[in-house]
Amino acid sequence: MAPYESDEATGAGQGEDLPTGRRKAARYVVPVAVVGVAAATIGLVPALADSGSPDLPKITAQQLIEKIAKSDVQQLSGTVKVSTDLGLPNLGGLESSLASGAARGGDGSSADPKSKLTELVSGTHTLRVATDGPDRQKLSLLESGSEYSLIHDGRNVWGYDSKSNEVFHGTAADSGKEHRAEPPATPKGFADEALKSVDDTTSVTVDGTAQVAGRDAYKLLIKPRQSGSTVGAISIAVDAKTGMPLKFTLTPKSGGAAVLDAGFTQVSFAKPADSTFDFTPPKGAKVTEEKKEAKAPGHTPRSGEDFTQGLQGANVLGKGWTSVATFDTGAKGGMPSGSEGGAFGGFLGSLGDHVSGKFGKGTVFSTRLVNALITDDGKVYAGAVTKDTLVKAADEAK
What does the angle CA 179 – CA 234 – CA 369 come to, to the nearest 5 degrees?
Answer: 90
Sheet of 379-383, strand order:
315-317, 324-328, 379-383, 371-375, 360-366, 353-357
**144 backbone dihedrals φ, ψ, rounded to 5°:** -65, 110
**Among 171-180, 308-317, 349-358, 369-378, the range of highest mean pLDDT:** 369-378
The CA R_g of the chain, rounded to the nearest whole Å, is 22
pLDDT for 244-279, tens place per residue?
A: 999 999 999 999 999 999 999 999 999 999 999 999
% residues pLDDT > 70 (the chain): 66
CA 184 – CA 187 distance, rounded (Å): 9
Q: Which amino acid is at 386?
A: T
For 3, what's the count of Cα atoms within 13 Å in the CB-facing half-sphere? 11
Q: Work out the pLDDT band at 94, boundaries 50, 70, 90.
A: very low
Contact 41, 54 (CB under 8 A): no
pLDDT at 326 over 90: yes
Q: Find the mean pLDDT for residues 300-322.
A: 62
Beta pairing, strands 146-153 & 156-161: antiparallel
Q: At what angle do helices 187-196 and 29-41 cross, to 10 degrees?
A: 160
Beta pairing, strands 136-143 & 146-153: antiparallel
pTM of the model: 0.77
CA 150 – CA 142 distance, rounded (Å): 12
pLDDT for 193-232, tens place per residue?
A: 899 888 999 999 999 999 999 999 999 999 999 999 999 9
Which stretch of DSSP H or E encloses residue 395? helix 387-397
What pLDDT is recorded for position 331? 73
Q: Which amino acid is at 300?
A: T
CA 63 – CA 65 distance, rounded (Å): 6
For 81, what's the count of Cα atoms within 13 Å in the CB-facing half-sphere? 12
